[in-house]
Chains A and B, each alone.
Chain A
Amino acid sequence: KAGVTQTPRYLIKTRGQQVTLSCSPISGHRSVSWYQQTPGQGLQFLFEYFSETQRNKGNFPGRFSGRQFSNSRSEMNVSTLELGDSALYLCASSLMAGEGEKLFFGSGTQLSVL
């Protein structure tokens, strides 16, 4: 069974631009969550989707948004990029949501904002 796939692997953008990251969960997994990882803040929860609905959202500004499609694939978007948005963005999938399920992570998208 294929793991969680994230594309692209690396991305370079400039301030003010927007970016869309993609995540394909493990087949059969219905919950997808997104995280931002930086050396200073560690792993921080962005949001979680289950059955195309956002169930929870972390403490990030409205420039960060996401969505989930009917096949459970998910995208996250960051608008009006800032230098501080440079980070590794990780996607994780789990079988269900709300059950304290263990997460299966992708390798992430390394975003650099210049």
Chain B
Amino acid sequence: GESVGLHLPTLSVQEGDNSIINCAYSNSASDYFIWYKQESGKGPQFIIDIRSNMDKRQGQRVTVLLNKTVKHLSLQIAATQPGDSAVYFCAENILPGGSYIPTFGRGTSLIVHP
């Protein structure tokens, strides 16, 4: 099975609500995690990252939480806007032989209703 997965394939929220997207990973050796946003017709876009020596990191309207005990990652989006509608991927970076290879989850589709 996949080493990185998402609990919910689709998340629908109302504009202004907070959104939480979850991700589970299985490789306890992974030490670098990234969230990407992919809009229709575009490539994934970096949102926020976190290293395993941290459990929380905040950006502009986004927060990533890392729980290494249960190998869980979440992305929180505050005051969700219609422009946030996209597919969100988490990626864990695996380090075989000295170079990182990212493994991506399947993605969660976030739908924001105005």
Contact = CB atoms under 8 A, between A and B. Distances in A.
- Judge: A and B partners, yes or no: yes
B45 A100 contact: no
Contacts of B32: 100
Contacts, number: 58
A97 interface: yes
Interface in A12-46: 42-45
Give the interface size bracket for B toward A.
20 to 34
A43 B100 contact: no
B96 interface: yes
A86 interface: no
A48 interface: yes
B89 interface: yes
Interface residues of A, number: 24
Nearest to A99: B100
Contacts of B102: 45, 103
Contact of A106 (B43, B46, B100, B107): B43
B107 to A, nearest CB: 6
A11 to B, nearest CB: 15
Interface of B: 2, 31-32, 34, 36, 41-46, 49, 51, 89, 93, 95-107
6 contacts: A42-B104, A45-B103, A56-B97, A58-B101, A100-B51, A102-B49
